[in-house]
Chain A
Amino acid sequence: MGKFGKIARRTFLIGSAAIAGGVAFGYFKYKSPVANPLLGDLKPGQAALTPYVLIDGTGVTLITPRMDMGQGVYSLQAMLIAEELDIGLDQVRVDPGMPSPAYYNTALSHEAVPFDPRDTSMMAETMRGVADAAMKFMGMQMTGGSTTTPDGYEKLRIAGAVARETLKAAAAKRTGVAVADLKTEGGAVVLPDGTRLDYTTLAPDAAGVEPVTEVTLREPEAWRLIGKDVRRIDIVAKSTGTQVYSIDLEPEGVVHAAVRLNPRRSGAPASFDASAAEAMRGVEKVLPVTGGLAVLADNTWRAFQAADAITVEWPAAAYPAEMQGHWDLLSAGFTKDNVDATPREAGDVAAALVRAGEAVVNAEYRAPYLAHAPMEPLAMTVLVGEGRADVWAAAQAPRFAQANVAKVLGLPVEAVHVHVQMAGGSFGHRLEDDAIRVAAEIANQVKGRPVKLTLKREEDMATDYPRQIAMARAEGAVADGKVVAFDLGIAMPSVIASQMGRQGMNIPGPDSQITAGAGDQPFAIPDYRVTGFRVPGLAPVSSWRSVGASTNGFFHDSFLDELIHAAGADPLTERIRLMDDPEGVKVLETVGEMCGWGASLPKGTGRGIGFCRSFGVPVAEVIEVRQTEAGIRIEKIWIAAGVGRVIDPQNFANLVAGGAIFGLSHAMSSEITYADGMVEQPNFDAYEGMRMPQAPVVEVKAVEGLGRVRGIGEPPVPPAAAALANAIFAATGQRIRELPLSKSVDFA
């Protein structure tokens, strides 16, 4: 365990282990020490041991800087810290903390470089080092990319261990007992005679001793919390209506705001008439904001009603007004000039396809724009005072929100305090901060009064930056019962360019998301190529749960399934034969065992497999569907996922099941379309998804021990659509190549 002594130094001096390529992105700044964000706010009697643990006379607070949007990461982060700190989850408070550059997300930058996340070659590690530096430079504290677990797995346990050892040092100093004779248990240092010194009483002493950073992490056999079913710390609140979300905050003197924002994203209104709105009961005033208008009123409903009463004309959109225009752009987008990257190029596909001649298999696939539409619409509160502003919001990237609010208000960044809230779902929605900026603009016009902006559902849907639309064209060949050639081109807008552009950033190089979930799949096909085409001119888009892989997982695995059927091979056996990764093989074998693959099924029933490795996690899903008089019924889904190690088994299974259902829900019946430059689905009655009667039985299994620790928020999504389409093919013989599948079949 000696190596863990080094980890503390690597993590907290941040960077001594990073590969020092050292050229780009301000490496010098990367090397400079990072101020502890908690020291500034410390009160007398408090001691901040590390940026993740805060102890005072009233208790122990664990700082969990990654936002919880339902994935249970407050619990998970607290577990990792508490495991080493020797304290129960019922003995701590959990606080998302203030945004700070010290919480930069290392694992996220690993996903930002165009390398297979499992590739540990020199080149890949070097690039990750540079990306780390860039991430640090930008101070990116971001919840996304299923990174909380891999990012925190060591970092948070070390934080707990450093805190524990420092408390022991403080106890040794106070009592004269040697550190080696001290134990820790249940939030206290225990002396040999059984005397317990609570961490809370040791906190002032601990502030006076040098932090102990040479620590040894516990062996898995000694874990009390990790790998055990632990009751989520938010579960009672969420089962009693007492969980507070952004939308529930109501500070003293709050004024309620609603907005009408440009649904075509084309700037200020061409004209508007707010006279009717201004005359309505409870309305204080109507204000201009960037790209629209805001109403201030004495309650949410009155603000909504008044916003609806404004008549407004908007300029034309910069993207095509109708859907046909969007598809035309994609269809014409497979050009040499648009090639963004060719991340997979094995053998000679062109020659293989010529050899196959007439036997070449062709297919074209489509996937629509989708809304994030979390159950809690966007809502936030902003209070602008003299030289200070406070923001209460469920922000996935609070540092961006902080910087943007500072810019809006003309304040220094450190004068803006972002209080991250629990989110009622997100799926990537809360990575964007347009609404927070607008709330700040409103609050700046009524200084000294807290403004709570709530987006009406229709407003939230109209101004959401959707999941990318995408199209794929594929050609392939089979021989001797095997898949031998596979050529896939994918055309889509660049999500990263669109999203980071709104943050004023230009990310150079290819956008790995254009081919993510397709160009990085662990298959060894002799002649194999995947090309990404970056298509300009489409609607602005944003990261949606699993990002590029959400469309590409469907394209890649649907076409693989088509080829396997063309070869007359077994869908499971042939995928295993082609698989080039032991973890992927195990995942496929596991899902096969779980469902009893190969068993004979009644007529009208079929099973399909979907496989995708995204965010480093190979996931295989088998879906069983049955044809009924009312349409296709999804009976059951079996899922196996390779995650290295499961931290919280119950939450793992729930998150995997939920992710697959999320994927199926959209694959079945969801789409966002534009007409006259505006979204045509204003609410849940038009943006359909899975409901209780359609929910299948779900069985989940983890494959552990074959890879690094990974996050599971996103990887279950990409295989779902492919598995469902492949199952429908197995049951009916109908091959569907366009999402949502409800365009082609009915669902029971």
Chain B
Amino acid sequence: MQFKVNGTVHEADVEEDMPLLWVLRDVIGLKGTKYGCGVAACGACTVMVNGEAVRSCQTLAGDLAGAEITTIEGLGTPGTLHAIQAAWVEHQVAQCGYCQSGQMMQAASLLAVTPKPTDAEIDEAMEGNLCRCGTYPRIRAAIHAAAASIQQAG
């Protein structure tokens, strides 16, 4: 099976029903996408498939033929931060940081469709992403900041 992740095609011999999460982590070796629950209840594994946020723990390998998959590693790197990541750094959002890859991918998907989200739109988009450290207020602030900086760069 072939997987196009962050622009690179990877070959992997896996079951049709293996979740994308584990293809990414254990087969391709991209560890930025996190395992939290395995049942689409926490959002830690969120990636983008064709630009849309999905829970990779419930996205099956067999359904991804020809799909463009973007993970946190494809969003930006420590040397070249994406606007969302820059806002996350600026607002020092993370505490344990484990859920934040998923939070940022969900936020990226939101801003792609809704460049200037209201609080209500942020609530709706981010509701599926659990944070146990309680960083929600800063996630909200960072999304607003990222939206502003993307528009300014626009």
Contact = CB atoms under 8 A, between A and B. Distances in A.
Given A650-B92, A655-B95, A689 B38 contact: no
Contact of B38 (A424, A425, A457, A651): A457
Nearest to A687: B41
Interface stretch (A17-25, A68-76, A522-530, A567-575): A68-76
A236 B78 contact: yes
Contacts of A122: none
A300 B25 contact: yes
B140 interface: yes
A629 to B, nearest CB: 16
Interface in B112-142: 122-124, 126-140
Nearest to A697: B137
Interface string A638-666: 00000000000011001101111110010
Question: How big is the A interface, by class?
Answer: 35 or more
A742 interface: no
Given A457-B38, A657-B137, A425 B22 contact: no
Interface string A432-476: 000000000000000000000010111000000000000000000
Nearest to B15: A281
B81 A240 contact: yes
A375 B136 contact: no
Interface in B69-93: 71-73, 75-78, 81, 85, 88-89, 92-93
B44 A300 contact: no
A658 B89 CA distance: 17
Given A241-B72, A424-B98, A651-B92, A375 B36 contact: yes
A374 interface: yes
A168 interface: no
A421 to B, nearest CB: 12
Interface stretch (A243-251, A352-360, A494-502): A243-251
Contact of A684 (B36, B75, B77, B97): B36
A239 B91 CA distance: 10
A309 interface: no
Contacts of B136: 661, 690-692, 695
Contact of B97 (A70, A651, A657): A70
Given A654-B138, A684-B130, A241 B101 contact: yes
Interface residues of B, number: 61
Contacts, number: 187
B10 interface: no
Contact of A375 (B31, B71, B130): B130
Interface string A609-630: 0000000000000000000000
Contacts of A245: 98
Contacts of B37: 457, 683-685
B101 A658 contact: no
Nearest to B97: A238
A661 B133 CA distance: 8
Nearest to B89: A239
Contact of B34 (A376, A427, A657): A376
Interface string A689-711: 11111011110000000000000
A692 B26 contact: no
Nearest to A394: B96
21 contacts: A237-B78, A238-B100, A239-B81, A239-B85, A239-B94, A239-B97, A239-B100, A241-B32, A241-B72, A250-B29, A299-B27, A301-B22, A374-B132, A375-B44, A375-B98, A658-B95, A684-B36, A692-B127, A692-B139, A693-B123, A695-B136
Interface of A: 69-72, 231-232, 234-245, 247-248, 250, 256, 281, 299-301, 304, 373-377, 423-427, 454, 456-458, 650-651, 654-655, 657-662, 665, 683-685, 689-693, 695-698
Nearest 4 CB-CB pairs, A to B? A241-B32, A70-B96, A661-B134, A424-B98
